[in-house]
Amino acid sequence: MTTLSLDGLSKAYGTFTAVHRISLTLRDGEFVSLLGPSGCGKTTTLRMIAGFIVPTEGRIVLDGRDISTPAGVVPPERRGMSMIFQSYAIWPNMTVAQNVGFGLKMQKLPAATVRERVGEVLDVVKLGHLAGRYPAELSGGQQQRVALARAVAVQPKVMLLDEPLSNLDANLREDMRSEIKRMHTEFGITTVYVTHDQSEAMAISDRIAVMSAGRIEQVAPPYELYARPRTRFAAEFIGRTNLVEGQRSDGRVHFSAFSVDADAADGEGQVLASIRPQNVRLTPRNGAAAPRADGQVLLAARVGERTFLGERWDYALRLECEGGGPPLRAAAPAEQVFDVDAPVWITIDRDSIVEVGDEQ
């Protein structure tokens, strides 16, 4: 059973704090992504986990043992971890089999054991037929598979991946996403994955830790993170959203164009809410009666702009109700076509209006 914990972990460079008191625990075999924009502290965090950087504050604990504190760190080679870099870092003068077996040879395993394990891992990544090739003879995706195979061959306790797909084209990235997920299912290695790509993190993670300015904004499974963001940053960074401002009073939350029941325990004050475009549903309004809206918000609007994105339409909607308000965006199926200026009804489920905070 491998557990990895970050406890109040910080890293400062002079007056600049790159990582600020983050805490996170990974369960045995869990795949957790650190997701955020450039400069948010995710790679610094990964390098502290790897043992390349000494923390300024806090500690990293692996299986109940401190491996990083401000007083010192266990060297990277003694942590039982494998790391895959953005540049793959495979040796050009070694064949595929030699690259994958290098770590096993460093463990001084018998040659027969090395050959057997290399063969098994290459079969898993579907590179057995290329065992004698050199990296220059491989495609980018094949080189990435070699890096993955080398990392898992040594049977690490934890695998660390730093933006491993950023050098690949879009189609190959999607293929490799599936490959990484498949390999994680096959080997069940506790994994920390750094990326700035939201769709990548959503596709392969058990949980995602969204980072901003050195802090963790929210940690949750992909669906929960998308459906119930806790902060403005998390709502905006994971997919697209409508952010609407309102005021809570007298048991209601009043927005510029509508109001909804509020939880009485929440008190009064300003409110910021996230409404995902997928939850803004449209029906035609030309001469049609308003649809039933039990427990829903019902608004009259017109299509202001539209963009066809292949699988769906992106609509910007001008509200026509008293109070108006900023345009709302809706994501509609490809077959639901409305012309610009077409009158529509908007319905929104109350449960999909999610209150968020301005910061963690």
Nearest to 9 by CA among 57, 47, 68, 74: 57
Which residues are registered as beta bridge partners of 209? 34, 219
User: What is the pTM (predicted TM-score) of this model?
Assistant: 0.90
Q: CA 139 to CA 247: how far, in whole Å?
A: 56
Collect all residues with Cβ–Cβ distance below 8 Å to 134 and sequence separation of at least 6: 92, 93, 94, 95, 96
Collect all residues with Cβ–Cβ distance below 8 Å to 105 and sequence separation of at least 6: 114
Specify the pLDDT at position 263.
67
Q: Are 193 and 201 in contact (CB under 8 A)?
A: yes
Q: CA 305 to CA 66: how far, in whole Å?
A: 56
Collect all residues with Cβ–Cβ distance below 8 Å to 203 and sequence separation of at least 6: 177, 181
Specify the pLDDT at position 261.
85
* DSSP state for residue 233 in the 8-state scheme: H
Q: CA 360 to CA 218: how far, in whole Å?
A: 8
Specify the pLDDT at position 359.
63
Specify the pLDDT at position 170.
79
Q: Express each pLDDT in 282-291 by its tens digit.
A: 999 987 677 7
Residue type, 137: E
Domains of the chain, each with CATH number or no CATH: 4-230 (3.40.50.300), 242-356 (2.40.50.100)
**Helices 140-153 and 111-124, packing angle to 10 deg:** 130
For residue 197, which phi and psi values (nearest 5 degrees)? -95, 110
Q: CA 103 to CA 105: how far, in whole Å?
A: 5
Q: CA 303 to CA 64: how far, in whole Å?
A: 58
Regions of the chain where pLDDT drops below 50? none
Q: CA 39 to CA 19: how far, in whole Å?
A: 10
